[in-house]
Amino acid sequence: MSDQQAQKQAAAKAALEYVEDGMILGVGTGSTVNCLIELLPTVKLAGAVASSQVTEDKLCALGIDIVDLNFAGTLDIYIDGADEVNKHLQLIKGGGGALTREKIVAAASNQFICMVDESKSVEVLGREFPVPIEVLPQARSYVARQLAELGGEPVYREGFVTDYGNVILDTYDLDVSQPIALEQALNNIVGVVCNGIFAANQADVLLKAGSDGVTTINR
Ligand code: 5RP
């Protein structure tokens, strides 16, 4: 097993400590979350709200009840991974294309617990990982031109359709030094459904796994 995979498993194990019997758990998407899902049969959940169809299928396969967010009220916790995280616990997410549903479930939860391996920690967001932006299909070219005006280089994620039937523009070279302002500016472009900067609602707890174990950072 690679060091990175071992770190993902260690972070997931640390996240499991926050999960209690009887909870309706918000569950994210991605390979780190998959490590957590494997551990969930050790807890008696009342149910789970999934942040993607992929996660929903995995939870169903384990016999965990899927709850519609509209009937779940405010969730105690949402657990997910990230593509990049800075020291303020602001994130870039959406490498798996589930950013919109992830942002909704995170917003509807009291606490967002983020699990990462050490490779995800960055000084400034967006210098290496592009910002995924979910866009209504008809607005793709228009939004791409607007992103170029902001200094970005959007790349259409070909062959990928989100759970909501939209497309993704992975946008390189955006200046993400002011993440909250940029998150808002991207949301203001007509045709943008959601963007992968999680700064206005950043993580509340970061579980960062490294070669020396898992470090917990609270906001
Ligand atoms: C999916 C996401 C994931 O949280 C992010 O891509 C991290 O994935 P992984 O745990 O596989 O590294 O935002 O949309």
pLDDT tens sequence for the chain (219 residues): 899 999 999 999 999 999 999 999 999 999 999 999 999 999 999 999 999 999 999 999 999 999 999 999 999 999 999 999 999 999 999 999 999 999 999 999 999 999 999 999 999 999 999 999 999 999 999 999 999 999 999 999 999 999 999 999 999 999 999 999 999 999 999 999 999 999 999 999 999 999 999 999 999
Rounded Cα gap, residues 46 and 177, in angstroms = 40
pLDDT value of residue 1? 83
Provide the 3-class DSSP secondary structure of residue 169.
strand
Q: Which residue's CA is the closest to the ligand 1 atom numbered 8?
A: 30
Q: Which two tokens stand for residue 25?
A: 């758990």
CATH numeric code, 131-196: 3.30.70.260
Chain region(s) in the chain for CATH 3.30.70.260 = 131-196
Of 125, 38, 115, 119, nearest to 90 by C-alpha is 125
The answer to whether domain 3-121+200-218 has CATH 3.40.50.150 is no
pLDDT value of residue 54? 98
List, in sequence order, the alpha helices (H) in 20-155.
31-39, 53-61, 99-107, 140-149
Quote the ligand 1 centre to 6 CA distance (angstroms). 16
Residues identified as active-site: 102
What is the CB < 6 Å shell around ligand 1?
Answer: 28-32, 80-83, 93-99, 102
Q: Sheet harboring 109-117: ordered strands across?
A: 47-50, 24-27, 75-80, 109-117, 205-210, 213-218
Q: b/e for 78-107, b at 16 or more Cβ within 10 A?
A: bbbbbbbbbeebbbbbbbbbbbbbbbbbbe
Atom of ligand 1 nearest to the CA of 29: 1
Atom of ligand 1 nearest to the CA of 116: 10
Q: How far is CA 35 from CA 16, 98, 155, 183, in A?
A: 10, 17, 30, 29
List, in sequence order, the alpha helices (H) in the chain.
3-16, 31-39, 53-61, 99-107, 140-149, 179-187
Chain region(s) in the chain for CATH 3.40.50.1360 = 3-121+200-218
CB 19 within 8 A of CB 77: yes
